[in-house]
Structure 1
Amino acid sequence: MSVLPSCSRCPQSVVVSVALIFALFQQTCSAKHHTSCPSSSCGEIGDIRYPFRLKGDPGGCGLPSYELDCVNNRTLLTLFSGKYYVKEINYDSYQIRVIDSGVVEDNSCSFPRYFLSHRNFSHDYLSNDPLTLSDDCFSTGVAFVKCSNRVSDDPRYVKVKAGCCDSGGVIYAVYLGTTFRVMDVKAGCRLKVATFANGSHSSDVSYRHRTHDGKVSYADILKSLEKGFWLTWSPLVCRDQCGKGINCNFNQTTQQIQCLGCEMFNHGVSNCGILSRINQYIRGYVAFVTRGFANRIKNIRRSFWDYRDGEILGQDILPIFIVVRYLFVLSLLLVVFIYKWRRRHFSIYENIENFLLDNNINPIRYEYKEVKKMTKGFKVKLGEGGFGSVYKGKLQSGLDVAVKMLSKSKDSRQDFVNEVSTIGRIHHVNVVRLIGYCVEGKKCCLIYEYMLNGSLDKYIYFKEGSVPLRHEKIYEISIGIAHGIAYLHRDCDVQILHFDIKPHNILLDDNFIPKVSDFGLARLYPAKDGSIILTAIRGTLGYMAPELFYKNIGGVSHKADVYSFGMLLMEMTSRRKNSNPHAEHSSQHYFPFWIHDQLKEDKDIDMEGASEMDNILMKKMFIVALWCIQFKPSDRPSMNKVVEMLEGKVESLNIPPKPSFYPHEMLENDGTINSPRTSWIDSNSSMCPWT
Structure 2
Amino acid sequence: MQCKKQWKRFLSELEVLLLFHHPNILELAAYFTKSEKFCLVYPYMRNGSLFDRLQCVGNTAPLSWHIRISVLIGTSKAIQYLHNTEPCLVICGSVSSANILLDDQFQPKLTDFGMAHFRPYLEHQSSTISMTSSSSKHLWYMPEEYIRQGKLSIKTDVYSFGIVIMEVLTGCKVVLDDPKHIQLRDLLMELMEKRGLDSCLSFLDKKVHPCPRNFSAKLFSLAGQCAISRAKLRPSMDEVLTTLESAQASLYFAEDPPTSLKSFRCPSPLFLENVPSIPVEDDENQNNHSLPHDKGLRKDGLTQKVPFECSQSEVTFLGFDRTTGSKRNEDACNRP
TM range (shorter): 0.5 to 0.7
Contact 1:583–1:590 (CA under 8 A) maintained in structure 2: no
> Are residues 1:558 and 2:154 paired?
yes
| Residues 197-596 of structure 1 mapped to structure 2, 5 A cutoff | 408-410=3-5, 419-461=13-55, 465-491=59-85, 493-528=87-122, 530-536=125-131, 538-539=135-136, 540-551=138-149, 555-579=151-175, 590-593=186-189, 595-596=191-192
- How far apart, CA to CA, are the structure 1 residues paired with 2:163 and 2:50? 14
Q: CA 1:624–1:469 in structure 2 vs 1: closer, same or farther (change >3 Å)?
A: same
Instruction: Give the Å deviation of 1:524.
Output: 2.1
Residues 504, 582 of structure 1: CA spacing in aligned structure 2 closer, same or farther, 3 A cutoff? closer
Other-structure match for 2:245 = 647
One-letter code aligned to 1:547: E
CA offset at residue 527 of structure 1? 2.2
Task: Please give the alpha-carbon distance, in whole angstroms, between the structure 1 residues aligned to 2:177 and 2:52.
Answer: 25
Kindly state the Cα deviation for residue 589 of structure 1 after the two structures are TM-superposed: 10
CA distance in 1, matches of 2:151, 2:147: 10
Distance 1:463 1:574 in 2: 16
Deviation at 1:612, TM superposition (A): 4.8
Residues 159-174 of structure 1 aligned to structure 2 (within 5 Å): none
Look up the equivalent residue of 2:115 and give its one-letter code: L
Q: Which runs of 4+ in 1 moved over 6 A?
A: none
Q: Secondary structure at the residue paired with 1:438?
A: strand
TM-score of the two chains, using structure 2 as the length reference? 0.61
Deviation string for 1:529-588 (max 9, x for gaps)? Answer: 71112022535131111111333xx942111111111111101111112456996999x9
CA spacing shift, 1:536–1:452, aligned 2, 3 Å: same
Question: Which of 628, 631, 655 does residue 226 from structure 2 map onto?
Answer: 628
1:468-526 Cα shifts (integer Å, max 9, x gaps): 11112111111111111111111354222221111111111111100110112222222
Classify 1:423/1:463 alpha carbon distance in 2 versus 1 (closer, same or farther; 3 Å): closer
Q: Is the 8 A contact 1:620 1:650 kept in 2?
A: no
Cα distance in 1, alignment partners of residues 140 and 25 from structure 2: 23
How big is the alpha-carbon RMSD for the aligned residues of Structure 1 and Structure 2?
A: 3.5
The verdict on how the C-alpha distance between 1:422 and 1:499 changes in structure 2, with shifts beyond 3 A counting, is closer
Is the 8 Å Cα contact of residues 578 and 592 (structure 1) preserved in structure 2?
Answer: no
Unaligned 5+ runs, structure 2? 250-336
Cα offset, 1:412, TM superposition: 7.5
Whether the aligned pair in 2 keeps the contact of 1:579 and 1:590 (CA below 8 Å) is: no
SS of the counterpart of 2:90?
strand
**Alignment CA distance shift 1:602-1:467 (3 Å):** closer
Secondary structure of 1:646's partner?
helix
Output the amino acid matched with 1:592. Answer: L
What code does the residue aligned with 1:622 have?
Answer: F
Cα contact 1:580–1:589 (8 A) shared by 2? no
Distance 1:416 1:650, change over 3 A: closer
TM-score normalised to the size of structure 1? Answer: 0.31
Distance 2:197 2:42 in 1: 47
Q: Name the SS for the 2:201 alignment partner.
A: coil
For the structure 1 residues 500 and 604, does the alpha-carbon distance in structure 2 shift closer, same or farther, using more than 3 Å as the test? closer
In the superposition, relative to structure 1, how do residues 521 and 589 fare at CA in structure 2: closer, same or farther (>3 Å)? closer
Q: Which structure has the higher relative contact order (CA within 8 Å, separation 6+)?
A: 2
- SS of structure 2 residue aligned to 1:434: coil
* Larger relative helix fraction: 2
Q: Deviations over 1:78-112 (max 9, x none)?
A: xxxxxxxxxxxxxxxxxxxxxxxxxxxxxxxxxxx
1:605 counterpart SS class: helix
Alpha-carbon distance in structure 2 between the residues aligned to 1:417 and 1:550: 26
Conservation of the 8 A alpha-carbon contact between 1:502 and 1:568: yes
> Where in structure 1 are there 5+ consecutive unaligned residues?
1-406, 652-691
Q: Determine the C-alpha separation between the residues in 2 that align with 1:473 and 1:525.
A: 33
Within 2, Cα distance between the matches of 1:518 and 1:439? 18
Quick check: 2:80–2:238 contact (8 Å CA) kept in 1? yes
Q: Report the equivalent of 1:255.
A: none
TM superposition shift of 1:634 = 0.8
SS at match of 2:145: helix
Aligned counterparts of 2:20 and 2:179: Cα–Cα separation in 1: 42
Q: How many angstroms does 1:604 deviate by?
A: 8.1
SS in structure 2 of the partner of residue 542 of structure 1: helix
Is the strand fraction higher in 1 or 2?
A: 1
